[in-house]
Amino acid sequence: MQLQETGLKSHQRWGLVVGVVAFTLLLLLPLNLPAAQHRLLALLALTFTYWVTEALPLPVTALLAMLLCSVLGILPAKQAFAPLGNPVIFLFLGAFLLAEAVRTHELDRRWVEWLLSRKWIAKTPFRVLAGFGLSAWAISGWMSNTATTATLYPLAWQTFQELRTRLVRPENFGLALMLTCAYSSSIGGIVTPVGTPPNLIGLGFLTEQANVRIGFLQWVMAVAPVGVAMLVCLMLIARFMVKENSLSNETTLSLTTRRLGNPLTKGERNTLIAFGTAVGLWVLSGLAALLLEQQSLIAALERIAPTVKQVLTFLKELPEAIPALIGAVILFVLPAEEGKPTLSWKDAQRIDWGTILLFAGGLALGDAIFQTGLAKRIGELITELPFAKTQLGLTIWGTTIAVWFTEVVSNTAAANILVPIVLATAKEAQLSPVLPVVGTVIGCSFAFMLPIATPPNAIVYASGLVPIRQMMLKGLILDIISPLVIVSLLWLTSPLLGL
């Protein structure tokens, strides 16, 4: 009776029960495991069940996992809650604050309106789709895919209403437009480390468990080709969907513009300063790493400036969280209109604090899996899969499983579940974990088939222009293509990741 009063859905109510039953049974079963591993296995069953069914809010389940790690004696309390102080947590925080300032001052909308005001965009339906796709792809590298799709959705709807009477098959154009906005937002998020939580989760685990640090510029150079290739694949599908449509050469889009043509406001300028500072430091850190490899150049520069090597070393070793936090602090310091800060604390409260807690819980479980030795046992089992003992084989397995798993589990929860397993398997097989982990976290962002798979899909599905059968069909095509594109291009760009 109480469950009904909470408004939980049927699968959530079942998830609550199944999680507790699985936890209890695994605790009572006489498994041939050390006590800590036995209790952790029961906790993992409870946590994963709650994450998959969303029986509790995902961040609450993460907090519960940290709590039970301590209560069950799996980890000391100090160690169980230590992930809350991990530098990657503060990278999340800084990136979310910067993205919130962009959204608050509508810089994202200004970019979209500018792009769609270009005359060549309105020439054909496909060019309109390409304009929206490029906008979503570019913006979601810095903002969440949900916020990006929510920003584009009203503009896309307005565009559809503007053009529907001038098209041969308006329903095809509407479907293609909505799917382009959603799918491009998911694809673009992989291009930068801060574009989507799974990227940072993978980087955090590599740093904590494998002592491998991938810099901002390294990530962009290695992963951007995957993002570009997937965007091209999406545009080819969109092109096929609107091939029977045409527009008059005199057509123009009369979009309602609130920003275009007006000068930048103080808030917009300050946001650009803060954002540019963070991105500039991230890029400088990557360039410093590249320059330090050129010994002859460094020797020549030291004759001019003796401290150049120390400065470059400082920039190279600068944690990614520092530029993000510097940019975030600038937002609170620089005054905008009427003397108000560029970002107020009321604005800051709107960021996704839940994802930060979810990431911390995932790190705690990952730490427990390795500390108790359960990772070694899991890795031994997975290495029995065909080709899983090779780096390429494990990358294929991790990426493929992630692409399909994230259709039923949120991308953040999927990354928290899969990355420790892939990392453990790589260690057991004595392989470099970088390629398998990066492939897995990219796969976790590619949820295309179902409205429930990711919020962008749900947003465009609500438009009424996207039949579920069409979303599943187009999403299936991308789900099949994704692992092939991810693995092949990562294999080619692997030297950029230090492999």
Residue 223 has pLDDT above 80, yes or no: yes
Residue 82 has pLDDT above 60, yes or no: yes
In a domain, 199, yes or no: no
In a domain, 53, yes or no: yes
Query: If pLDDT is split at 50, 70 and 90, which confidence band does 332 have?
Result: very high
The alpha carbons of the chain give a radius of gyration, in whole angstroms, of 24
Secondary-structure percent of the chain, ordered helix, strand, coil, rounded to 5: 75, 0, 25
Give the angle subtended at the CA of 494 by the CAs of 280 and 379, to the nearest 5°.
115
More confident residue, 497 or 69: 69
DSSP H helices in 6-86: 10-28, 35-53, 58-71, 77-80
pTM for the whole structure: 0.71
The segment with the largest mean pLDDT, out of 66-80, 82-96, 157-171, 246-260, is 66-80
**How big is the chain, counted in residues?**
499
Question: 104-136: per-residue pLDDT in tens?
Answer: 887 777 776 776 677 777 677 888 888 889 988
In a domain, 66, yes or no: yes
In a domain, 55, yes or no: yes
Distance CA 280, CA 273 (A): 10
8 A C-beta contact, residue 267 and residue 337: yes
The stretch 442-459 carries a mean pLDDT of 81
More confident residue, 242 or 268: 268
In a domain, 24, yes or no: yes
User: Could you tell me which residues come within 8 angstroms of residue 443 by beta carbon, excluding any fewer than 6 positions away?
Assistant: 398, 399, 400, 401, 402, 403, 406, 482, 483, 486
Question: 133-155: per-residue pLDDT in tens?
Answer: 998 898 888 877 877 887 777 77
In a domain, 498, yes or no: no
Residue 49 has pLDDT above 90, yes or no: no
% of the chain surpassing 90 pLDDT: 23
8 A C-beta contact, residue 143 and residue 108: yes
Mean of the per-residue pLDDT values of the chain: 83
Domain count, the chain: 1
Distance CA 154, CA 140 (A): 17
8 A C-beta contact, residue 333 and residue 273: no
| Helices and strands of the chain, counted as H and E runs | 24, 0
Residue type, 172: N
Tell me the residue range of the domain where 69 lies.
1-80
Query: If pLDDT is split at 50, 70 and 90, which confidence band does 4 have?
Result: very low
Query: If pLDDT is split at 50, 70 and 90, which confidence band does 231 have?
Result: very high
The segment with the largest mean pLDDT, out of 68-77, 243-252, 290-299, 347-356, is 68-77
Residue 396 has pLDDT above 50, yes or no: yes
Token pair recorded at residue 352 = 């996704």
Predicted local confidence at residue 292, as pLDDT: 77
Residue 334 has pLDDT above 70, yes or no: yes
Predicted local confidence at residue 2, as pLDDT: 36
In a domain, 47, yes or no: yes
In a domain, 215, yes or no: no
3-state secondary structure of 318: coil
